[in-house]
Structure 1
Amino acid sequence: MSVRSPLHRPWSLVDLVADLRSGRSTEADAWQRSGARIDETEPELAAWVIHRPPAAPAHPSGRVGPLGGIPLGVKDIIDVAGLPTRCGTDLYAARPPAEADAAVVQAWRRAGAVPAGKTVSTEFAFFAPGPTRNPADPTHTPGGSSSGSAAAVASGQVPLALGSQTAGSVTRPASYCGVASMVMTRGRCSTDGVTGLSASLDSHGLYAAQVRDLACAWSAFVGQEVVHGDPSSHPRVLLWDAAELGVVESDMAAAVTELGRAIRAKGAELSAFPAAAAVAETTAAHAVVMAYEAARERSALFEDIDRLSDPLAALLRRGASTTTADYHAARRSIAVSRERIIGLFEDVDVIVGPAAPGAAPEGLDATGDPVLSRAWQAWGLPVVTVPGITDGKGMPLGMQVIGSPNCESELLAGASWISEVIAAGFPP
């Protein structure tokens, strides 16, 4: 993988956990490394709203949880006890600290991860960007809305960070910043303590350097063995080129085609994705549902709508003008097509396609287009973003690997295999 910035230096969770377990490193060493890297890179990247490491090792008497006290970035729409949740908005500048951890933070603490602070979110996890820059090239957007978490992992400030996704807020930043990510099956973990945007669409996500690091984190989270890629085990793959959405740029389209050839050359069963019309219809339905629910879930914001960014104000106004009949029609459409898509997994293991239209756009005034994630998010499916491909300018291009609901371990196995195919010499 060719990335042109020295700021891009992800930190392997697998290697860190192995060092902690063997005694080659300690929790204090991990926090010292994290702090030093933040000191080195944060002035340029601006990934953090609040960086507040513990005053002393969280587990001074020994390792607690399989992750052993590793530093964790937490997106600033997710509550961490003792820290304010500001949601990327000046409206919450004076918000008091949260009294308790969000349910998902509690779960990661049980796995042994310790919050290092709050990472930048776009305004209320929508489109208005924060100050964060892309470690692959600081003149390009890191994507959004989980901007700070993606940048913190891509730069090696922390080995693991939490995000959330309502449209493409985890998958797109991973693709742009050149790291791995996973969106959990919707409902896999409670969203209590999270300032959401759309109740039927919001999902949890996480970032790590590579797919094997996601697998390490996931096994700690759910208490299962780490998933490793097995080059001799060939998954059944549907290749989705997203042509029906009309947004995929030439470098990404070429990468999808070449990846399909490489998958077939490795002996996997590869077929074309047969439900393009369902993706297009569900992409449109997702936008209706998201706007309608956001206008109601964040109805208090109408009091300050003139202080909101133009994109968020427009979303809320559009949602408020959407009829209940149109909303329910969109929900029905999503439910019907979801049954068809889930049925595909009776004959295939994963669906593979582009994670974003192309590389991260230049400039910091927008966060890119989430359109390639909308349908999968509407269906509530788990998604892994696999890094390792770059465009002609050396900027990252991510591939998303989609799995069946509540089958994250199996999805990670398939994504790990795809990662091995890419690492084996995928064309630049």
Structure 2
Amino acid sequence: MKTELRSPLRDLVEQLAAGSTTPTEVAEAALARIAELDPRIRAWAHLDPDAVRSAAARIQDRGAGGVLWGVPVGVKDLIDVACMPTRCGSELTSAEPAAADADCVARVRALGALPAGKTVTTEFGYFKPGPTRNPRAVDHTPGGSSSGSAAAVAAGMVPLAFGTQTAGSLTRPASFCGVAGFVTAHGSFSTDGITGLSPSLDSLGLLARTVSDLHFAWTALRDGAPAPTLEPSAPRRLRLWSGFELGEVSTEMTAALRKTAATAEASGVSCREVDAAATVVALTEHHHSVMAYEAARERSAEAARPEKISAPLAELFGAGAQTSEADYAGALAGIREMRQRLLSALDEDEAILGPAALGAAPRGHDATGTPVLSRPWQAMGLPVVTIPGKRDSAGLPLGLQLIGRPGAEQRLFETAVWLESVL
């Protein structure tokens, strides 16, 4: 049978386990797709086809074992993969291969997966774009900073990819490229082996074609075991967030949110507006203060080479250098207080639904869009699912983000897959 990388991840895993396809056949299908599309999409920063074939053959020779056995995975080029360079979208980094896998890569490798290569990131996960194009419309940005991972999944090159998020680095590319994204709750997975900007904000994430695929991969990472079939389940209540206080949300994105809410209400879900304008504005400001302060210190070696970094990154480091320790501590305290207040009012059977970006992917490649609609939730370290399915009048994807409680991710996924089914 022909190996189809765009079939559900569970189906691919079951086909591999049953012998209907093999790790080497899956690898060849991925490499063929990459050879066909990547000259135009440019999702990959490092990919060695011969190394992929050799790794697939070794996995196959060892025999079936692990819930992700034989599945090729893209890895954002901020994340170490043994024997591959980690360039972080910058000329400042070494071309020498990493000595060891990042913790998340070691986990999927232990589950039988094949880390296929490194996907393009913006410079150190900030604003300077890489060469990646949006598979849905190549003259539009794929978003950033997990540009290559989102594009590789959207183009059907791999069924699963790692990303990261410090501000809006995963949610926005998922929305722009029309795929599902999951930002894990801060601290729920190790970031060892990941080049970050802000330890208080950096989170691991996943990109896949659908919410069900995300859930399957997340459960495998968490438990090392196959996930039960994800059953759609309407929540008791959705809190609707327009995002208007942070930016000019497009009319079509707003309409997508309203239509989804109307469908939910018709199914008996209670929907009401979030009245938290002052809170999300303050969280956004606190987020920037924390990110700048920590980035200037976390990446001090790069900050000392302003001639080798982009102007936006230099400005971030400069802002961080000017942020006092008292202001930094105050921002962290403000985030903690607002997080506690939100979580005390949000139970496990409700979630916040809002736009994942201001609108569809902007035309051009000189910028990646703004992360402003992700900053409040990333500041609080909450789990976020980006749900694909909507389109604007030009056919460009529009994603919605669903924000939930840390520790209630299973319920968040049940709600997300239900919303995906109605989108």
TM-score band, normalised by the shorter chain? over 0.9
User: Does 274-283 or 388-397 show the bigger shift?
Assistant: 274-283
Q: TM-score, normalised by structure 2?
A: 0.94
Shift of 1:24: 1.8
Q: Is the 8 A contact 2:238 2:350 kept in 1?
A: yes
Residue 46 (str. 1) matches residue 46 (str. 2): no
Shift of 1:374: 0.3
Task: Please give the alpha-carbon distance, in whole angstroms, between the structure 2 residues aligned to 1:156 and 1:343.
Answer: 41
Secondary structure of the residue aligned to 2:149 is helix
2:299 matched to which residue of 1? Answer: 298
Q: Is the 8 A contact 2:348 2:411 kept in 1?
A: no
1:31 matched to which residue of 2? Answer: 27
1:407 matched to which residue of 2? Answer: 408
What per-residue deviation string (whole Å, max 9, x for no partner) do you get for residues 215-248 of structure 1? Answer: 11122112263352335x5442111111221321
Q: Within 5 A, what are the aligned runs for 1:26-425?
A: 26-52=22-48, 53-55=52-54, 56-92=57-93, 94-223=94-223, 225-230=227-232, 233-346=234-347, 348-422=349-423
Shift of 1:274: 3.2
Shift of 1:282: 0.2
Shift of 1:27: 1.4
Task: Please give the alpha-carbon distance, in whole angstroms, between the structure 2 residues aligned to 1:10 and 1:282.
Answer: 38
What per-residue deviation string (whole Å, max 9, x for no partner) do you get for residues 117-140 of structure 1? Answer: 100010011000000000000000
Task: Please give the alpha-carbon distance, in whole angstroms, between the structure 2 residues aligned to 1:205 and 1:262.
Answer: 29
Shift of 1:407: 2.4
What per-residue deviation string (whole Å, max 9, x for no partner) do you get for residues 330-363 of structure 1? Answer: 1111111001111222274211110000000000
Task: Please give the alpha-carbon distance, in whole angstroms, between the structure 2 residues aligned to 1:226 and 1:345.
Answer: 26
The letter of the residue matching 1:79 is D
Task: Please give the alpha-carbon distance, in whole angstroms, between the structure 2 residues aligned to 1:72 and 1:421.
Answer: 28
Q: Is the 8 A contact 1:239 1:271 kept in 2?
A: yes
Secondary structure of the residue aligned to 1:339 is helix
The letter of the residue matching 2:32 is A
Q: Is the 8 A contact 1:266 1:421 kept in 2?
A: no
Task: Please give the alpha-carbon distance, in whole angstroms, between the structure 1 residues aligned to 2:6 and 2:371.
Answer: 24
Task: Please give the alpha-carbon distance, in whole angstroms, between the structure 1 residues aligned to 2:172 and 2:414.
Answer: 21
Task: Please give the alpha-carbon distance, in whole angstroms, between the structure 1 residues aligned to 2:304 and 2:143.
Answer: 28
Task: Please give the alpha-carbon distance, in whole angstroms, between the structure 2 residues aligned to 1:382 and 1:119.
Answer: 23
Secondary structure of the residue aligned to 1:372 is coil
RMSD: 1.5
Q: 1:176 to 1:21 in 2, by over 3 A?
A: same
What per-residue deviation string (whole Å, max 9, x for no partner) do you get for residues 272-316 of structure 1? Answer: 223232111101110111011100100111321111111101111
Secondary structure of the residue aligned to 2:292 is helix
What per-residue deviation string (whole Å, max 9, x for no partner) do you get for residues 22-78 of structure 1? Answer: 322221221111011000000000000111314124242322211112000000010
User: Does 359-368 or 244-253 show the bigger shift?
Assistant: 244-253
Q: Is the 8 A contact 1:35 1:157 kept in 2?
A: yes
Q: TM-score, normalised by structure 1?
A: 0.93
Q: Is the 8 A contact 1:10 1:154 kept in 2?
A: no
The letter of the residue matching 1:226 is P
Task: Please give the alpha-carbon distance, in whole angstroms, between the structure 1 residues aligned to 2:364 and 2:231.
Answer: 36
Identity score, percent:
50
Unaligned residue ranges in structure 1 (runs of 5+): 1-8, 423-428
What per-residue deviation string (whole Å, max 9, x for no partner) do you get for residues 343-402 of structure 1? Answer: 222274211110000000000000000000001000000000000000010000000011
Task: Please give the alpha-carbon distance, in whole angstroms, between the structure 2 residues aligned to 1:200 and 1:226.
Answer: 32
